[in-house]
Structures are given as structure tokens and as C-alpha cells.
Amino acid sequence: MKSNNITHLVVRRCYLGIPGAIFLFNTLHDLNSLEQLWIDYQDNRDNAELNDAIMAECILTLSACTGMQKLTLNGLNLSTNSFAVLRTVFPRMSALLDLGLCGNLIDDVCARDLVHGQSKCTHLQRLSLSRNIISDNGLDVLIQGLPKSVDKLHVEGNDVTLARQVPLLRFKNLFLSGNTLCLDGPGLIAASLANPECRLESLTLTQCNIGDEEAATLADGLRNNRRLTRMSLANNSLANNNITKEGWNAFSSILCDSSSIIATYNSNHTLQSLGLRGFVSQDIEMMLDQNRLQDKSRVAANKILLAHRHLDMSPLFGSELDLLPRVVAWLDRFAKSRPDLKLSSIFEFVRAMPMKVTARLLGMAEGKKRKPSN
């Protein structure tokens, strides 16, 4: 198979075996125009004969594919030998955008070789290492050493526990599902989410041994977070450690703190999803739906109007009447369907400082009298 015009090659759901693998990879010598290579052997039960030593010899031919943009090598039993080779191959793939290495035998040593090899892949955006044997040490190596361009990391189904202090700040999308987190793991995640430097926008934590107490810890980390829009907590049933109604309700006061108008205004208006719909109460779903609106001033106003049937104006009295016009303008903008709120709010100001209101009105009247006529 010789052609310089092939840019995409997909090998999926077919039996390779050692002869087939050798033939396939030898073919890559002649495919220097290849931009995408997808070999997915994860679901094939006959992949046991593809060992790391054989694959190390095979993947050396990838060095000819200098224009590679998307590379997927799933379920090929890649391990230390293969990654010693990949460490020399990856620097030739400077255009690489997407790398998938799922269902292999990648450990912390491999992670270190991967990081060294990726140093020149400055355009890499997504790295998928799901279903391997990477631990906290390997995750830390990836966090510290991957190119800054990588903003999406998949490490589902590994040996990550978050038992050590691993900062989870740099990625926009992090997938940790299927890792059994230690007792302190959710606390580490919450601390990262509370850090102003955290860039996370999507965090997947399904099947991570999270219960009510852990859910409450995660919720508290979102109190002042203004970036994370999605946190998936569905299917957390390992060791019967389910998230119940009590755990889900921990997010209620984070999304809409009804203790005061100011607290409601400062609630989280960013989080839009906690996973599959139906896991949480309708009240929480309603607040998540509100957060999907682009205008965050509108979101805050809607929550205030939903949580407070009566608006307490007393915290504003310190500025006397100076804030009353702003209150009226705010109600005109956000509460047109609630004229009662406008009247009751004005009445509170009048009742709290009747003499000042009277003086202000008399001053306005005097001003009109003194205004020269045309």
C-alpha cells in the first residue's frame, strides 16, 4: 500500500495479530502525508499476543509521519519499551493536536517518557490516557510537564487517588472518572476549585467513590468559583457510597444562598450541570438552568426575585436616599412583573427616613418655583 495521498487511516474492530501489526506499521514508512491514524484494539480479546517489545519495534515507523495531527493507539499493550521509542518519535510530530493512548499498560515511568517526548508538541490540545495504570505520581508528572497548550486531559480508570498534593489548576477539562479517590481527595479538588488560578471549566468525577460528605466538600469549593460550568457526579456508587438527597442539597446554598439579598447576589452563577438530569432536585435543576443564561446580572436578579418575596432595603439605608434611584431602576429592569416590589421598596425608604424624603420633595418643589420662566 504505497500512496502519498492518504491523510486518514482507521483500523478498528479487526484482528491484527503480530504479523498484521508489523505489516500495518511498516506501511507507515510510505505514508508521509498521514495526518490522522486511529488504531483501536481495546475491544478485541485477541490482543494479548501484541506485547510491548513487539509494539516498540512497530511504532518506530511513526517517525516518518511528521505531519500527524491526530494519533490514537488504543489497546496495544504499550508500556515502557514502547514509550522509550515514542520519546524519540514525538518530537518529530510538532503538528500533533490530539493524542489517544487508552487501554494500554502506561504507568508513571511511561508518563515521564511521554512528557519528555511531548516537549516540542506545542500545539497539542487533548491527551487521553484512560484505562491505564497511572498513579498520583504520574498525574503530577503530566500536570507539571505537559506542554502549556494541553487543556484537556483524560485519565479515567487509572490508579489516581489524590492522596498526595497534586494541583489541579492548569487544565480546562479534566476527566477523573473511575478512579477511587481517597478520603482527602475531594478536599484537594475543592481547594483547587477555590483557587483563583484554577482554569477548570469541566470536571468529570463519575464513579469516584463520592458520598454525601464528599459532595458537600466539593460544593463548598465552588462558592467563589467563576469558571467551572460542569461537574459530573453521576453514578457514584462504589462501596455503597452513594450521593443522596442530602449530598445533592449541599449545592443548593452554593447556587442560591437565600440568607440575604447580598448573599444571593454573590452566589455561584457559573455552574450549569452536575451530570445527568434527574439526579438532583427540581430546585437545583432550576438554578442550574438559570446559570445557563449569558447575562449574569439577569441570573443574579432572577435568583433574588425567586428567593426573596420581600426585598429588605434596610442594608441600603446607610446611604440615605442616594441608592433609591438605583433600586427603582433595578426593579424597572428586572422586576417589571412585580410592581408590588417597587412600591414596597419605596415605602421602606419613606418609612425609614420620612423627614429626609419630605425635605428632598420640598427641595425639588422650591427648585421648580425658582426656575425662571421662558
Cα separation of 174 and 40, whole Å?
A: 22
The confidence score (pLDDT) of residue 122 equals 93
Q: In this predicted structure, what is the pLDDT of residue 19?
A: 87
Cα–chain center distance at 71: 24
pLDDT recorded at residue 240: 47
Work out the average pLDDT over 212-239. Answer: 89
pLDDT of residue 32: 79
Mean pLDDT in residue range 98-114:
97
Q: How large a percentage of the chain has pLDDT more than 90?
A: 58
Reference 198, options 180, 176, 174, 182; nearest CA is 174
Grid cell for residue 372? 425662571
Q: How confident is the model at residue 46 (pLDDT cuts 50, 70, 90)?
A: low
pLDDT over 50 (residue 65) = yes
pLDDT in tens, 266-318: 999 999 999 877 778 889 999 999 999 999 999 998 898 888 776 665 665 65
Please write the tens of the pLDDT for every residue from 132-172. 999 999 999 999 999 999 999 999 999 999 999 999 999 99
Top mean-pLDDT range of 41-50, 311-320, 347-356: 41-50
Confidence bin at 95 (pLDDT 50/70/90): very high
Instruction: Specify the CATH number for 161-308; select among 2.130.10, 1.10.20, 3.40.50, 3.80.10.
Output: 3.80.10
H or E element: which one contains 53? helix 52-58
- Helix/strand/coil for 242: coil
Helix, strand, or coil (residue 99): strand
62-66, 231-235, 239-243: least confident range: 239-243
Which three cell numbers, joined as nine digits, stand for 247?
A: 449530598
Per-residue confidence (pLDDT) for residue 44, from 0 to 100: 57
pLDDT at 365: 47
CA distance 290 to 294: 9
Distances (CA, A) of 30 to 39, 99, 137, 244: 17, 21, 38, 57
Same topology, domains 1-149 and 161-308? Answer is yes
Question: Residue 48: what pLDDT?
Answer: 66
Average pLDDT over the chain reads: 86
Query: Cα-flanking dihedrals φ and ψ of residue 153, to 5°?
Result: -125, 125
The predicted pLDDT at position 33 comes to: 84
Contact in structure between 49 and 21 (CB atoms under 8 Å) = no
Confidence at residue 30, expressed as pLDDT on a 0 to 100 scale? 76
DSSP one-letter string for 20-46: HHHHHHHHGGG-TT--EEEEE-TT-TT
Split at pLDDT 50, 70, 90, the class of 243 is confident
CATH topology of domain 1-149: 3.80.10
For the record, the C-alpha cell of 66 comes out as 511528521
pLDDT of residue 320: 56
Q: What is the pLDDT of residue 13?
A: 72
Question: Could you tell me the residue ranges of all domains in the chain?
Answer: 1-149, 161-308, 311-368
pLDDT tens digits for range 187-225: 999 999 999 999 999 999 999 989 999 999 999 999 999
pLDDT of residue 239: 47
Q: Distances in Å between the alpha carbon of 240 and those of 279, 281, 335?
A: 16, 21, 46
List CB contacts of 225: < 8 A, sequence separation 6 or more.
193, 194, 198, 268, 270, 271
Question: Which amino acid would we find at residue 126?
Answer: R
Residues 340-346: what's their mean pLDDT?
A: 65
Residue 361, pLDDT > 80, answer: no
Q: What is the DSSP letter of 337?
A: T
Its pTM stands at: 0.85
38 vs 361 pLDDT, higher one? 38
State the CB neighbour count (10 A cutoff) for residue 9: 17
